[in-house]
Structure 1
Amino acid sequence: MSIQNSRKPVSCVCYGEILWDVLPAGELPGGAPMNVAYHLHKLNRNPSLISSVGSDHYGSTLIQLLSQWGIDRDYVSTNKTYATGIVYAQPNGLHEMKYDIVYPSAWDFITWDDRFTTLMQETDYFIFGSLACRNYTSGNTLFKLLESAKHKVLDINIRPPHFSPRVVEQLLHKADILKLNGAELDLIAGWYSAAHTVTDKIQLLQDRFRIETIVVTMGENGALLNREGIIYQHPGYRVQVADTVGSGDAFLAALLSKLIDRSPPVEMLDYACAMGALIASKPGACPEYDIAEVMQLAGNLPVIHS
């Protein structure tokens, strides 16, 4: 008698940093890849996470949290040399955060595992960012993963001084979907052109790197999506902001969830804005919430497209 494999197929793999955000109010789990995985799991997308933690209390607590949340931790290794990642985060008074990202950390040393080959073959969406390239070891593993990834989602997540224009350009050439904020759009587009408008800057990157989908988050001003040459704009939902840590990661998870469902771009953008706003209204990147709370926001504001 054969035994059927009951493991659910992995729809998304998130790669890179897993760490603790040290905020004025206390320590909270974070790191963009883990944040995205957390929200994808809340949306029933069965994500997997590739990262590394130290053999310390911070690391063991993160592993316990992943188990508690029901997120696949089979590809999160334990590094006996380097400590679990720490980020010191401070608000700047503009509903934005300033980050001091400790280096080196365990997630800078994600080494290749032959099991990754099968994982990538079974996965539709691979989510990654530029921060994972600040060290050669994790960067090298990332580029090897990109060789077999199906749909490549670049959440650029530029954190000075942990990036180089050369590496960012290499990542842009790999991306099928690009998510970035307004400041990152201004920075990167400025390397190639003196384009003035947001739409011109997006078009510049789309044409130069042949990226099918680009989405720009603009904080309290909502977001803009360029999907196959058509522009969609959402004004954003107004909420009482607790902090903005992880709101962009939640936005991306919601966008991908609707993309997997093949929802219309208008619905994708509206749902993502609702999710981002909801998480901004709660402390930390991975708060407790119910999907019904997102649905209460979504669909209440128009999306403009041209």
Structure 2
Amino acid sequence: MNQPSIVVVGSLNADLVVRVQRHPHPGETLLGSGGTITAGGKGANQALAAALQGANVTMIGAVGEDSYAAPATEYLRRAGVNMRGIAAVDDECTGLAVITVSDDGENAIIVIPGANAIVNGDYVAGFDDVLHDADIVLLQGEIPASGFARAVELAGGRVVVNLAPVIEVPKEALLKADPLMANEHEGGLILKQLGVPCASDEPRDIAQALVDAGFKSVVMTLGSQGALVADASGLTPIPTPKVEAVDTTGAGDAFAGAFVAKLAEGADLVEAAHHAARVGAFAATRRGAQASYPGPEDELPSV
């Protein structure tokens, strides 16, 4: 029996990580440390997290023909992710994320798309067979909207969307997400994009408003407060282990990748979210994004 397959259509970046005591105020100069280059990009992060949880993962994306391409794909290669959908383009640089991490573990990120900008509708259409055969197609917001829409159109299985960052995408494509994954800030922006009013900024109200807007299911991530799973049957809170955060960079992507890996195994939304919360918490206890993700040999924290 074939292992269920996950196809991730998304971004690949090289991450330039700088550590600071605190984040600078506008116009302020601070001394930092680090300056190392490692693998990142929300698409690659989530693909890796899923693969490390035992999933059969194929990645569709693009890098440049430059010195950043190798570190951007290093962890995917190690984990055995199928990279047939990753092109190296000579007229674009590999995507670059500049990340500052403060001593309390919080991060701020600036992303330069680079080669990720070519992952448009025409590019994605070249992998129609891969998308049609996938059990789950996982998408984020770091590729062009046309690529996002075409991937949804060609998906033969379940579509899971983590629209981060929140970009303008066709409503009919977005509403096919099952589930939509978002934090409360992103959830509010998605409601605004759909033209749906929500007077409350409470996560429970935002999650319910998204279900009412037409999403079959919603998983709202709440950082150290865990998550919420919302569907027609109601709202279920998902606790997260209490850990000492070292670096939250990529922890949300660890959650998303682990979540779809568990879905592919046949878990329901609540079971998958419980597992994903433990994986995300583990990632926050280590430095970096992909370097922090647990594999099968790692013991996950308990709630």
Do both share a fold (TM > 0.5)? yes
Q: Following superposition of structure 1 onto structure 2, how do residues 205-284 of structure 1 map, counting pairs within 5 Å?
A: 205-208=210-213, 210-284=214-288
Distance in 2 (CA, whole Å) between partners of 1:187 and 1:291 is: 36
Of the candidates 202, 205, 219, which is equivalent to residue 200 of structure 1?
205
CA-to-partner distance for each residue in 1:8-31, whole Å, 9 max, x for gaps?
A: 656111112101111113222001
Of the candidates 148, 170, 174, which is equivalent to residue 142 of structure 1?
148
**Which residue of the partner structure matches residue 127 of structure 1?**
138
Task: Report if aligned partners of 2:64, 2:88 keep a CA contact under 8 Å in 1.
Answer: yes
Distance in 2 (CA, whole Å) between partners of 1:41 and 1:118 is: 21
For structure 1, the residue ranges without an aligned partner over 5 or more in a row are: 1-5, 134-138, 302-306
Task: Report if aligned partners of 2:203, 2:220 keep a CA contact under 8 Å in 1.
Answer: no
Cα distance change on mapping 1:141 and 1:267 into 2, 3 Å = closer
**Which residue of the partner structure matches residue 129 of structure 2?**
118
Cα root mean square deviation, aligned: 2.4
Displacement after TM superposition at 1:215 (Å)? 0.7
For normalisation by structure 2, the TM-score amounts to 0.83
Of the candidates 166, 172, 176, which is equivalent to residue 174 of structure 2?
172
For structure 2, the residue ranges without an aligned partner over 5 or more in a row are: 19-33
Cα distance change on mapping 1:94 and 1:174 into 2, 3 Å = farther
Distance in 1 (CA, whole Å) between partners of 2:184 and 2:296 is: 27
Distance in 2 (CA, whole Å) between partners of 1:185 and 1:115 is: 31
CA-to-partner distance for each residue in 1:210-260, whole Å, 9 max, x for gaps?
A: 222211111111111114432111232111212111111111122222222
Displacement after TM superposition at 1:285 (Å)? 1.4
CA-to-partner distance for each residue in 1:60-105, whole Å, 9 max, x for gaps?
A: 34345432321111110011100001011123676432211124x0
Cα distance change on mapping 1:91 and 1:71 into 2, 3 Å = same
Q: Residue 164 of structure 2 aligns to which amino acid in structure 1?
A: N
**Which residue of the partner structure matches residue 12 of structure 1?**
6
Is the partner of 2:185 in helix, strand or coil? helix
Distance in 1 (CA, whole Å) between partners of 2:81 and 2:75 is: 9
Is the partner of 2:44 in helix, strand or coil? helix
Is the partner of 2:298 in helix, strand or coil? helix
Q: Residue 97 of structure 2 aligns to which amino acid in structure 1?
A: V
The count of corresponding residues between Structure 1 and Structure 2 is: 280
Cα distance change on mapping 1:113 and 1:131 into 2, 3 Å = closer
**Which residue of the partner structure matches residue 44 of structure 2?**
34
Of the candidates 3, 17, 24, which is equivalent to residue 23 of structure 1?
17
Task: Report if aligned partners of 1:130, 1:171 keep a CA contact under 8 Å in 2.
Answer: no
Higher strand share: 2
